């Protein structure tokens, strides 16, 4: 099961990388759509990660964790909605949400703490997705595009 989780984490990264590269290769119209899809996809991922909290072991079940799960799901929804209004703010919110969730998972998930391969993969992927977001922000603020 752990191998499947790690494999799926890396497959999920592929779409982020692809969407972050499109702006640097294709025309500006396609670039803006690609960055918006990246932000929406990131919001969906944050909401999904928030939902994962509900599946943690019973020993980790607490009302505080469940409220955090709802908060992360709403945060993901907020990232997706913000992408229609203010794309740079949406990407910045996505970066912070990913890092905050990683920190939350490190402290509260028994699975994260006991499975080093999963923990390393989650940390690496979170940081790589953050780099994809920063790359997209760099495109948005690039004076030469």
Q: How many CA within 13 A on the CB side of residue 31?
A: 16
The rounded distance, in Å, linking the Cα atoms of 32 and 9 is: 25
User: With pLDDT > 90 as the criterion, what percentage of the chain qualifies?
Assistant: 67
How confident is the model over 12-40, as pLDDT tens digits? 899 999 999 999 999 989 999 999 999 99
- Where is pLDDT greater, at 54 or 39? 39
Q: Nearest to residue 80, comparing CAs of 71, 67, 89?
A: 89
Angle at 90 between CA 87 and CA 91, to 5 degrees: 90
User: pTM for the complete prediction?
Assistant: 0.90
The rounded distance, in Å, linking the Cα atoms of 89 and 110 is: 32
Q: Nearest to residue 107, comparing CAs of 140, 60, 38?
A: 60
How confident is the model over 74-95, as pLDDT tens digits? 999 999 999 999 999 999 999 9
Residue 145 has pLDDT above 70, yes or no: no
For CA atoms 70, 2, 124, 104, the dihedral sign is positive
């Amino acid at each position: 099961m752990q191998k499947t989780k790690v494999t799926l984490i890396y497959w999920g990264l592929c779409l982020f990388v692809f969407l972050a590269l499109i702006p640097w290769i294709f025309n500006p119209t396609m670039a803006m759509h690609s960055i918006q899809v990246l932000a929406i996809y990131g919001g969906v991922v944050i909401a999904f990660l928030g939902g994962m909290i509900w599946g943690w072991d019973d020993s980790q079940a607490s009302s505080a964790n469940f409220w955090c799960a709802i908060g992360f799901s709403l945060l993901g929804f907020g990232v997706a909605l913000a992408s229609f209004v203010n794309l740079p703010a949406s990407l910045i919110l996505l970066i912070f949400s990913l890092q905050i969730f990683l920190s939350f998972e490190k402290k509260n998930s028994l699975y994260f703490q006991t499975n080093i391969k999963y923990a390393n993969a989650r940390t690496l992927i979170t940081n790589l997705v953050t780099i994809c977001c920063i790359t997209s922000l760099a495109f948005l603020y690039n004076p030469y595009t």
